[in-house]
Structure 1
Amino acid sequence: MFSNVLAFESRRMLRNFPPLFFGLAFPVLVLAIFGGIYGNEPSEFWDGRGTVDMSVPAYVGLVIAVAGLMSFPIGMAEYRSRGFLKRLKATPARPGYFLLAQILVNAVICVLGIGLLIGVGVVAFGLHAPAHPLAFAGIAILGSAAMFGIGMLIASVAGSEQTAIVIANIIYFPMIFLTGATVPLSLMPDAMQNISKAFPLTYAIDALRWAWVGTADSLTLPLSVLGGTVVLTGIFAAWLFRWE
């Protein structure tokens, strides 16, 4: 039964243009623009590192943010607000199957989006291999879990699909513009850099950059924030979420 639910969610995702565009194409377009302008030659701005090498880990944040903060919660809120999950209780297809299928399908989008981003970076701009590939994969998973946790919390408190869209947008756009995911934080005023510290995605990008280019920054704070986000959002989402 779960395989049928997963196949259904996969077909549904293929017909859903926004998460496919923003998860697969948009980060590559951003990379193409800024990579085309600055290339990947060593830059004084990045302490001798290439712009593309420093940017790709940040653009990975775009991929996991759109899946965790937009696609996943809006899909779950839509099912719940229309009474779809409630009616499933009378069928062999349990509501939990759709929750798991939503997570898996959006996780696949994350993997494809990150793979496409890295592939374009390597082929078009000479992106270097990550300094710590296993750590990069683990941090990407942890960062995704934090974004999906926030997404589940959005789905838990939103009473309708429209409300979920509004809440998701309120969280998503500050996340991508004030965390270094699109514009480097070093270009922002001190006040905005301080605001960025309130967003978990900032710490995910810091940790991803550490894993990719081997910066000397400590991982203690980023991993603590991301792990705490996963735990807290999981607790509150489990408490607040209702299938009906």
Structure 2
Amino acid sequence: MSALFRLTVTETKLFFREPMGVFFALAFPPILLVILGSVPSMRHADPALGGLRVIDLYAPIVVVMAIAMFAVNGLPQLLGTYREKGILRRMRTTPVKPGLVLAAQLLMATALSVSTMVVILAIGRLAFQVHLPSQLAGYVIAYVLAALAMFAIGLLVASVASSGKAAGAIGTVLFFPTMFFAGLWVPRASMPDVLRRISDFTPLGAGVQSLQDAAGGHWPQLLHVAVMLGWVVVAGGLAARYFRWE
């Protein structure tokens, strides 16, 4: 555990040496929430949304965006680069096995994405009166499942990409459709029925709806929990099957 802790600290320090990565992973989601919340129309209750405001719907969307930034943009590119440069291969000859690098990356990404979530919830509450989650346990479960699903997808990308640049490109291509179905451009409540049904079966579509349900005091729906678990099992299994250390 001490080796894992030291390696996590080291990987975190390396992460903070990349200003652009830090900005997009940690600062951009809260800034986006502030920009959206500054639009007056976003703060008006809409009867078509069940009396909710658009900013209420965007808070969980921005939360999952922070997860996606780490999971499909940062993690695959870093692991792909480590494999490409032979870092993982060389570590296999040391007491610190490559698996610890993977564990340290996941631990770092999880901790930082949780920190971003806390900041987003605090900004939403203090600046725009977005209610804190009424069903806290359900919110935590939904967040964990969404994070696990996205990290499993990220590891799958890292396992099949031939290089760090290829992993970054694949992650970028995946980021936009997953965020589209999460409701970044059109909130799920405003989507046509067909798009909303497709969104139900995507990891972030299911994740956003589960977070919204928990924020309103309800448990996540069984369908969405099953969808996120399915992505964890399928993507995680494929990543474990095809992941290459060198």
Structure 1 position 182, deviation (Å):
4.4
Which residue type is aligned with residue 7 of structure 1? V
Deviates more, 1:135-144 or 1:35-44: 35-44
Instruction: Say yes or no: does 1:58 pair with 2:61.
Output: yes
- 2:241 maps to 239
- Between 1:35-44 and 1:2-11, the stretch displaced more is 35-44
Partner of 1:120: 123
TM-aligned CA distance change 1:4 to 1:130, over 3 Å = closer
Counterpart for residue 140 of structure 2:
137
Out of 36, 46, 64, the position equivalent to 1:43 is 46
- 1:151 aligned onto 2:154: yes
Give 1:107's aligned amino acid: T
**Structure 1 stretches lacking a partner, 5+ long:** none
Tell me the residue number matched to 2:106. 103
Look up the SS of the partner of 1:25 in the other structure: helix
SS at match of 1:49: coil
Pairwise mapping of residues 15-54 of structure 1 onto structure 2 (< 5 A)? 15-37=17-39, 38-54=41-57
Matches within 5 A, 1:155-174: 155-174=158-177
The root-mean-square deviation of aligned C-alpha atoms, in Å, is 1.9
One-letter amino acid of the structure 2 residue matched with residue 120 of structure 1 = I
TM-score by length of 1: 0.92
8 Å Cα contact 2:201-2:227 kept in structure 1: no
Q: Secondary structure in 1 aligned to 2:137?
A: helix
Structure 1 residues 12-21 or 225-234, which shifts more? 12-21
Which stretch of the first structure deviates more once superposed, 97-106 or 33-42? Answer: 33-42
- Could you report, residue by residue, the CA deviation over 1:56-96 in whole angstroms, capped at 9, with x for unpaired residues? 11211101111111111111111111111001111122111
Q: How many residues align?
A: 243
Aligned counterparts of 1:198 and 1:48: Cα–Cα separation in 2: 26
Which one of the candidate residues 79, 83, 89 is aligned to 1:76?
Answer: 79
Q: Which residue in 2 is equivalent to 1:90?
A: 93
Which letter maps to 2:74?
Answer: S
Among the aligned pairs, what percent are the same residue?
33
Q: Which residue of structure 2 lines up, in the alignment, with residue 219 of structure 1? A: 221
Partner Cα separation in structure 1 for residue 218 and residue 139 of structure 2: 13
- Cα distance per residue 1:92-135 (max 9 Å; x no partner): 22111111000011111111110110111111111212120111
Residue 104 of structure 2 aligns to which amino acid in structure 1?
A: A
Change (3 A) 1:42 1:187: closer
